[in-house]
């Protein structure tokens, strides 16, 4: 470890040694407890130590937050500032998140087990970059003018929806929060955020940072607690105009039901994926491909919706390539995610670890063979650790090839032709991402055209680009995070016709 990394490691450990103050919600510009006074204890997946507690809120707290958001929207204290002032506030918010990224990243690491460098750079750092991008974009999006007749002209204005409810996942809480907050706030909405129970601590810090940046009271509200007691009341609330959600398909279905049973609020869903990573035998650099294939599925312990959990390898290179990927997996360091030298930390909680173990056992019963078995990996005794797993002889119709495990498990399948690989890749209910490695531009374009996925990577796999839309087809959901297209989720179109009478 060089001197710079050593200094960073020392700063991380110093930050991690500090007690975590009790988290609070944020409503109408101030930190709040649940009205009931109840709190929910939290445990770190790193070593099962206490990470304090969060307010255990319910529908009463949701009502308070929505009312505050509605007041803020109705009196135009945010959208009425105009674009330049909103831009200034969002850029200041981005600066404050960036300045606090080490504190936020370490807190995130302790809360849900994300490797600390990733938590600092890819979660907190990308959150700041996303807020900045939407702040910069805010005054570049304009309305449309329409000359119609000699007497008439029209314009089409893109107007905010009003109150947005944002329900977040636990795998990249800060980054995904910014994917929703950035465009929703840039468009002029007020927002009520419901963090995941397993990753609320860093999100709870955003309220104070937003207030320091100059965001008016009531424009951003944060309510912690369970899906049943906070998420569902938020989705059912008749004064919420939009729900944006990242998480499981089962919850996504429930949110659609809530929208139908309440006020037909707009809903956008990102409900996971089963990304196929297709490797052709003419790929330019198989060493790079193998490294990417392994590290892309095992980073953040495989807890990434777009993780390439299916590896499809052309049969001519199958044995040697798969064994090399296995060697890389066996070399990964498993341990405390606060250690910069560690590749994999724990999964988020024991329930998720049991989900992974069950998926591996079911795969074996279905005939798959584990050439790397994460259940046998050397892991710390305390904490919710499980090593990387690679399964071969996987039937493309089996649960391991069809269902999202959301853990460090790679299902490997051979193929002979590109169209066969595309058929396997498209053969699930998910359609979030897909990747292909080839030096042949015609094959790459053929695959990009025929793969059913919201994002297709060519000679790459994964990566965060705020400029590009992110979301899926089929049961991966609908609506897009990131890019200017995300503004469409949080706005509506108002057509205005103006008729004038020529002077006599």
Tokens of 183: 């465009």
The residue assigned the tokens 């007690």 is 19
- Structure tokens given for 380: 């710390």
Rounded Cα gap, residues 408 and 300, in angstroms: 8
Residues in the chain: 504
Q: Which of 126, 197, 232, 270 is catalytic?
A: 270
H or E segment to which residue 412 belongs: strand 409-415
- Non-local (6+) Cβ contacts of 72 within 8 A are 78, 190, 216, 217, 218, 219
Q: Are 360 and 374 in contact (CB under 8 A)?
A: yes
- Can you list the alpha helix ranges (DSSP code H) found in 100-125? 101-112, 116-118
Contact of 51 with 43, CB cutoff 8 Å? yes
Taking the C-alpha atoms of residue 197 and residue 112, their distance in angstroms, rounded to an integer, is 10
| Nearest-angstrom CA–CA distance, 26 and 224 | 9
Note the maximum CA span of the chain.
Answer: 90
Give the separation between CA 454 and CA 469, rounded to whole angstroms: 8
β-bridge mates for residue 478, sequence order? 269
What six digits make up the tokens of 248? 């499981």
Q: Does 305 qualify as catalytic in the annotation?
A: yes
Is residue 361 within 8 A of residue 391, CB to CB? The reply is: no
Query: In 3D, which of 394, 325, 322 has the Cα closest to residue 365?
Result: 394
The span from the CA of 429 to the CA of 472, in Å, is 11
Picking from 46, 155, 18, 256, the residue whose alpha carbon sits closest to that of residue 494 is 155
Q: Is 144 a catalytic residue?
A: no
Contacts (Cβ under 8 Å, ≥6 apart) of 53 = 22, 23, 39, 40, 41, 42
The set of catalytic residues is: 270, 305
């Amino acid at each position: 470890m060089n001197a710079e990394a050593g200094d960073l490691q020392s700063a991380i450990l110093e930050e991690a040694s500090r007690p975590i103050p009790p988290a609070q919600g944020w409503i109408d510009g101030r930190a709040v407890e649940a009205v009931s006074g109840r709190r929910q204890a939290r445990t770190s997946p790193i070593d099962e130590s206490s990470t304090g507690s969060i307010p255990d809120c319910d529908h009463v707290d949701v009502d308070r937050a929505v009312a505050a958001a509605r007041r803020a929207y109705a009196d135009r204290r945010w959208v009425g500032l105009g674009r330049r002032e909103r831009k200034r506030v969002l850029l200041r918010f981005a600066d404050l998140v960036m300045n606090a990224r080490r504190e936020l990243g370490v807190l995130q690491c302790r809360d849900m087990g994300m490797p600390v460098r990733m938590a600092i750079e890819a979660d907190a750092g990308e959150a700041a970059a996303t807020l900045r991008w939407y702040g910069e974009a805010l005054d570049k999006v304009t309305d449309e003018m329409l000359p119609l007749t000699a007497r008439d002209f029209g314009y089409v204005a893109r107007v905010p929806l009003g109150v947005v409810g944002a329900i977040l996942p636990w795998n990249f809480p800060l980054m995904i929060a910014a994917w929703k907050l950035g465009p929703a706030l840039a468009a002029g909405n007020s927002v009520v955020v419901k963090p995941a129970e397993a990753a609320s601590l860093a999100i709870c810090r955003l309220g104070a940072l937003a207030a320091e940046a100059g965001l008016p009271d009531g424009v951003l509200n944060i309510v912690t607690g369970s899906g049943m007691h906070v998420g569902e009341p938020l989705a059912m609330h008749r004064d919420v105009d939009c729900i944006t959600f990242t998480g499981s398909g089962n919850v996504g279905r429930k949110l659609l039901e809530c929208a139908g049973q309440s006020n037909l609020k707009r809903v956008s869903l990102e409900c996971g994926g089963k990304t196929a990573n297709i490797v052709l035998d003419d790929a330019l650099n198989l060493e790079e491909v193998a490294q990417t294939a392994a590290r892309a599925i095992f980073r953040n312990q495989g807890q990434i919706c777009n993780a390439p959990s299916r590896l499809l390898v052309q049969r001519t290179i199958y044995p040697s390539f798969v064994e090399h990927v296995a060697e890389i997996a066996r070399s990964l360091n498993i341990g405390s995610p606060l250690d910069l030298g560690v590749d994999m930390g724990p999964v988020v909680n024991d329930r998720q670890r049991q989900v992974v173990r069950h998926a591996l056992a079911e795969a074996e019963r279905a005939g798959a063979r584990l050439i790397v078995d994460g259940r046998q990996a050397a892991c710390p005794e305390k904490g919710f650790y499980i090593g990387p797993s690679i399964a071969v002889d996987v039937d493309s119709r089996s649960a391991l090839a069809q269902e999202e495990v959301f853990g460090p498990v790679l299902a490997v399948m051979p193929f002979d032709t590109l169209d066969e690989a595309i058929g396997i890749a498209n053969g699930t209910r998910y359609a979030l991402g897909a990747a292909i490695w080839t030096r042949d531009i015609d094959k790459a374009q053929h695959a990009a055209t025929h793969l059913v996925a919201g994002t297709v990577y060519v000679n790459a796999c994964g990566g965060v680009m705020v400029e590009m839309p992110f979301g899926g087809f089929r049961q991966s959901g609908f609506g897009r995070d990131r890019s200017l297209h995300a503004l469409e989720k949080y706005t509506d179109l108002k057509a205005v016709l103006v008729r004038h009478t020529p002077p006599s």
